[in-house]
């Protein structure tokens, strides 16, 4: 049985969303954030204290995008992946990793220095700097979507989950003011998927256990 350690709306949401898209059964453990402080026993499970932590038999992963790749490759075939012999393969790999490395990392820094730290630890200048970096990078997503419903291969794939999570976090961080009308439509397209709703519902139920 797959087990996913999670915190509400953290990067582990990407993994829950993909598991729901694939229709796989899994156990979800939703912990208060940040787990390494709120659940010190969690460090016995994942010494770096982050979520996601994903367990499937002897396989253990802590990187949300690696987990997306694991899920589609281990449990496919599925249209959620793009194969090396498809024309959009390189483009797909780029967006898959862009979602975390290029979009979510500046968001996480902004979150830390604008919202999470106690007030005396906040660094408004650093947060603003990363807000500008993020809004600039968002324009690349907008450009890639010109004339398209999804980022790659004319279909929904895990690249959309990777980037879609950054759009979801943008709303929490009040960065959705940078969404163009077409980016807003893309976000609405992604977030109206039944699997997106199912993952949201699972995390809500799991947090109450």
Ligand X SMILES: N[C@@H](CCC(=O)N[C@@H](CS)C(=O)NCC(=O)O)C(=O)O
**Interacting residue ranges for ligand X, rule: CB under 6 A:** 10-11, 34, 36, 49-52, 63-65, 100
* Six token digits for residue 81: 């992946």
Q: Which two tokens stand for residue 14?
A: 């990407």
How many C-beta atoms surround the C-beta of residue 27 within 10 A? 11
Distance in Å, CB of 190 to ligand X, minimum: 18
Asked if residue 52 has a cis previous peptide bond (ω within 30° of 0), the answer is yes
Contact 81, 72 (CB under 8 A): yes
Nearer to ligand X, 53 or 92 (CB): 53
| Closer Cβ to ligand X, 148 or 171, answer by number | 171
Contact indicator for 55, 62 with CB cutoff of 8 Å: no
- The strand pairing partners of 59, in sequence order, are 56
For ligand X, the closer CB: 112 or 193: 112
Tokens 């450009």 sit on residue? 143
Query: Which 3 state secondary structure label does DSSP give 160?
Result: helix
**Chain residue whose CB lies nearest ligand X:** 50
> Rounded to the nearest whole angstrom, what is the least distance from the CB of residue 147 to ligand X in the complex?
29
Please state the closest distance from residue 45 (CB atom) to ligand X, in A.
13
Looking at beta carbons only, is 62 or 153 nearer to ligand X?
A: 62
CB of 23 to ligand X, least distance (A): 23
- Using an 8 Å Cβ cutoff, are 28 and 203 in contact? yes
Our CB check for ligand X shows the closer of 65 and 141 to be 65
Of residues 74, 94, 83, the one with CA closest to residue 26:
74
Smallest distance, ligand X to C-beta of residue 13, A: 8
């Amino acid at each position: 049985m797959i087990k996913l350690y999670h915190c509400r709306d953290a990067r582990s949401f990407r993994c829950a969303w993909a598991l729901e898209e694939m229709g796989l059964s899994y156990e979800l453990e939703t912990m208060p954030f940040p787990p390494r402080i709120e659940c010190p026993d969690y460090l016995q499970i994942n010494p770096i204290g982050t979520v996601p932590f994903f367990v499937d038999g002897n396989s253990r992963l802590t990187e949300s995008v690696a987990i997306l790749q694991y899920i589609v490759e281990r449990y496919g075939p599925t249209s959620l992946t793009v194969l090396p012999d498809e024309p959009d393969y390189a483009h797909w790999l780029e967006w898959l990793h862009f979602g975390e490395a290029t979009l979510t990392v500046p968001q996480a820094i902004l979150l830390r220095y604008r919202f999470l730290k106690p007030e005396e630890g906040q660094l408004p200048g650093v947060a603003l700097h990363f807000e500008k970096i993020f809004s600039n990078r968002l324009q690349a997503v907008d450009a890639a979507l010109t004339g398209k419903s999804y980022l790659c291969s004319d279909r929904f794939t895990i690249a959309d989950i990777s980037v879609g999570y950054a759009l979801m976090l943008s709303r929490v961080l009040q960065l959705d003011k940078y969404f163009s009308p077409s980016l807003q439509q893309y976000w609405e397209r992604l977030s109206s998927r039944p699997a997106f709703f199912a993952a949201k519902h699972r995390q809500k139920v799991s947090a109450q256990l």
